[in-house]
Structure 1
Amino acid sequence: MVDVGLWNWEPGERVVSDVSGWADRFEWVEEFCVSPDGERIAAVVNKGDLQFTVCVNGEAWEGDYDRVWHPKYSPDGRLTALATEMAEWTLVVEGEAWEGSYAYAWGTKFSENGQVIACAVQQDGMYGWAVDGKPWETMYEAATDFELSSDGKTTAAAVQTVSFGQADIFTFQKGGYSCAVNGKAWDDNFVNIFHLSISPDGAHVAAEARTSLYDYTIVLDGKPWGKSYPCVWKPVFNPSTGEVTAPVRIAGKWTMANEAGPLWQPFFNCWHAFYSQDGAHLAALVAPEYGRWTIAVDGKPWRSTFSSYVGEASFSSDGELVACLGKDGDVWKIAVQGQIWPGKYDMAWKPVFSPGGAHVAAKVERGGKYTVVVDGNELPGGFDQCWEPAFSPDGRFLLIRAVEGGKYVRRVLPITDFK
């Protein structure tokens, strides 16, 4: 995990870069992205004559490409982008391209500490992972649901292992898909494989599997559960015990289950399950009644519900609180432990807990202006652009990264300012 204590937490505001002049220097400037520590702002820029590069704090990378796509900072602050030249794609890290190139590359992912960088690639009609510039030794004619372990040592994807034509329904029903882990496929095939999960230690992989046209189950390291269901959703690992649980459908309703069977009461729907860091609590998005959505923790739903959406949920580090986004009609809201904050927004982003869970912050948008809200209290004014906030290790300060008046500013504020 990246040590945010190494970031600059001195209170105050600093203009990092005047971005107002970028549009005059380049043919066009694409969407900005900002480093986690707030020290750098970047964007893909076009220099004319189909020459693309990346501009960082006003300085362009030396290399030019036919196209640059998906700029993204790693957790440790390195800037990456996908780039193509002469119809070959590669990943560029801090202006340096990987040695290998591919017919296509997409979906950049990072290890938790940012030291490992990977992306999905296709070459000669075959698909797989490339990790730090090295592709899987075995590639497949189709691959989806790419996952990277938190330590970066394990890659996995749902892959096609049997060739068949588009109308060959008989071969399809026999099963032609499996899961490949670090390039090696499981021994058994399935009708379909979806939504993989890798255990926190990177040693195990679980997935949704379709064992016939009508039966679904969870597969762990290639071994299916003993029970089948009309449908299942993405499995999750308990970070403490390693047990696998997943939402499953039974008699027209949904619940959480492990290999032995159901764990919770049934709901109209139940999905996007997640554990607290210590594995003591299990939560999921549920519909306790038709058309109403909320969070259930250890099988107990919140009383507050939403009509359109619930998501972007997470536990506090101590596992005692859950925060999420909710939507009623077109109005976005933020809820913590079932209590809905008073603010109503045109858009909101995933809430962030302070270390220990004493405070919650989120980026929000209303009327085309962006700001940050902490514990239900909004920062006065607004920004032209804003990124998700971050707490200092002691939870006393908040890092705000924003563009206002053509300038990208890095601001560190005491939590006491949000009252």
Structure 2
Amino acid sequence: MKQKTISKAEWDWQAGRRIVADLNQWKNEYGYMEEPVIRPDGEGAAAIVRTDEAEYSIVSETGLWEGRWDKIWKLNYGADQRLSALVAEMGTWSMAVDDETWEESFDFLWTPLKSSDGSHIAASVQQGRQYAAVLNGVIWEKTFFAINDLAMAPSGDKLAAVVQTVALQEGDIEKFQSGCFTVAVNGESWHQNFVNLWDVRFSADGQHVAAAARSSLYDYTVVVDGKSWNQRFDGLWEPLFLKDGRVAVPGRSAGKWQLVVNGAPLWSQAFTQLWQLVEDPVSGRVAGVCAPEFGKWTMVDNGRVWGLRFGDMVMDPVFSPDGRRLACTGKSGHAWTLACDDKAWDHRFEQIWTPVFSPDSAHVGCRVRDKGRYAVYVNGKAMVSDLDFACDPVFSPDGKLVLIRGVGGEGGAGKVFREVLEIG
């Protein structure tokens, strides 16, 4: 049953902490329990539990589901707070959503995807040694010899994936090199085949699809709506649709990487490495992770390279909603930190997750793990620490409050809580 997404403005933003579930009780009752998931609004939690020998179900703050299955996989919440998981019974797989299973079952399901509002759910599917995709329980009419890299349009009503359209026997090198793979959109495949493709992406309006491809064993190009660029490269990373409809991609030629837009370099600089492109949501400028020289990692924003350097890795670039700020995570040695506007936080951690900006762009936070314990930081300061587990922070619409979702801490080990704190 489809459930209306409740906007963040309608969530409970009253300051304070509440316990929403007790994992200790679930463990005591069922014995076996997998890692829990916490609702986006923090109002509940759920976990996979074993109800009998080789029989599993899902328990949440509202109780135990009626459904019983042989296997359960990929339990998670959508933005509409609906809880779903891939479930198997008697060797066939389906999707269970709030204790209701799709009418159709399949030989296998994997890579579940959800739309941003949670209303659409999809997965890759195997049925009778053929492969396709399924959206809201309805499988594509056309099937293929293989499928991978499933992608969903932002609206959730379209799917695209790399598919194999030519049967390929083991060791058939000539046929492989001639091209057996293409992209299918809602089951309709492009007319041109390639050696292989990856990083399938939709445009913001869902009307166009791009992918990186190998046109031969040694030549790489970008394909948009089935048409290849004329340009060839030595290597490519993930393409990015820009606000104006153009496609940007990091491309490698003569041993260096450049930002290429619709086949032509956009910046004059070339890098030892360039990838993970992001776009300013307001002005449309492009930024990405780069290595100006070997072993030195940083960010490049609209062609300007940050002065900050990390020795091992930079990941997860994110623009603020107003486009004026840029954040990422960085690693030197065994320590991670968050960097924003070319400045790194003072604290270092064993693990760090993608930065999150407040809607007003004034604050940036993330969850971290250090010495086996979790914490949530905002603007370089710990909001909550020494937790058994934590989720990413969620900021209130006005940016003045932050919602913390986690396990343990002041409420006690095994207690799932939600806490709203003012940002000082």
TM bucket normalised to smaller: over 0.9
Q: How does 1:9-408 map to 2 (within 5 A)?
A: 9-57=13-61, 59-239=63-243, 241-264=244-267, 265-379=269-383, 381-404=385-408, 405=412, 406-408=414-416
What is the Cα deviation at residue 356 of structure 1? 2.2
Amino acid at match of 1:248: G
Deviates more, 1:14-23 or 1:28-37: 14-23
Q: What is the SS of the residue equivalent to 1:21?
A: helix
Amino acid at match of 2:418: R
Hey, what's the Cα distance between the residues in 1 that align with 2:17 and 2:368?
20
Are the equivalent residues in 2 in contact too, given 1:22–1:58 (CA < 8 A)? no
Hey, what's the Cα distance between the residues in 2 that align with 1:162 and 1:407?
53
Hey, what's the Cα distance between the residues in 1 that align with 2:126 and 2:313?
35
Cα displacement string for residues 216-272 of structure 1 (whole angstroms, at most 9, x for unaligned residues): 100100011111111111110012x01101010011010110224111210001111
Hey, what's the Cα distance between the residues in 2 that align with 1:398 and 1:128?
41
Amino acid at match of 2:58: V
What is the Cα deviation at residue 279 of structure 1? 5.0
Hey, what's the Cα distance between the residues in 1 that align with 2:298 and 2:59?
42
Are the equivalent residues in 2 in contact too, given 1:2–1:113 (CA < 8 A)? no
Are the equivalent residues in 2 in contact too, given 1:74–1:114 (CA < 8 A)? yes
Amino acid at match of 2:117: N
Hey, what's the Cα distance between the residues in 1 that align with 2:374 and 2:155?
34
Indicate whether 1:414 and 2:417 are aligned.
Answer: no
Cα displacement string for residues 330-385 of structure 1 (whole angstroms, at most 9, x for unaligned residues): 10111001100001111111110001210001111112211111101112542111
The 4+ residue runs of structure 1 with deviation greater than 4 A are: none
Deviates more, 1:163-172 or 1:1-10: 1-10
Aligned residues: 415
What is the Cα deviation at residue 2 of structure 1? 6.3
Deviates more, 1:259-268 or 1:345-354: 259-268
Q: List alignment gaps of at least 5 residues for structure 1.
A: none
Hey, what's the Cα distance between the residues in 2 that align with 1:379 and 1:38?
16
Hey, what's the Cα distance between the residues in 2 that align with 1:233 and 1:381?
36
For normalisation by structure 1, the TM-score amounts to 0.97
Hey, what's the Cα distance between the residues in 2 that align with 1:132 and 1:212?
36
Are the equivalent residues in 2 in contact too, given 1:159–1:179 (CA < 8 A)? yes
Deviates more, 1:46-55 or 1:84-93: 46-55
Deviates more, 1:291-300 or 1:243-252: 291-300
Q: List alignment gaps of at least 5 residues for structure 2.
A: none
Counting aligned pairs with the same residue, the percent is: 39
Hey, what's the Cα distance between the residues in 1 that align with 2:51 and 2:67?
11
Q: What is the SS of the residue equivalent to 1:343?
A: coil
Q: What is the SS of the residue equivalent to 2:175?
A: helix
Hey, what's the Cα distance between the residues in 2 that align with 1:312 and 1:35?
23
Amino acid at match of 2:218: Y
Are the equivalent residues in 2 in contact too, given 1:227–1:259 (CA < 8 A)? no
Compute the RMSD of aligned alpha carbons.
Answer: 1.2
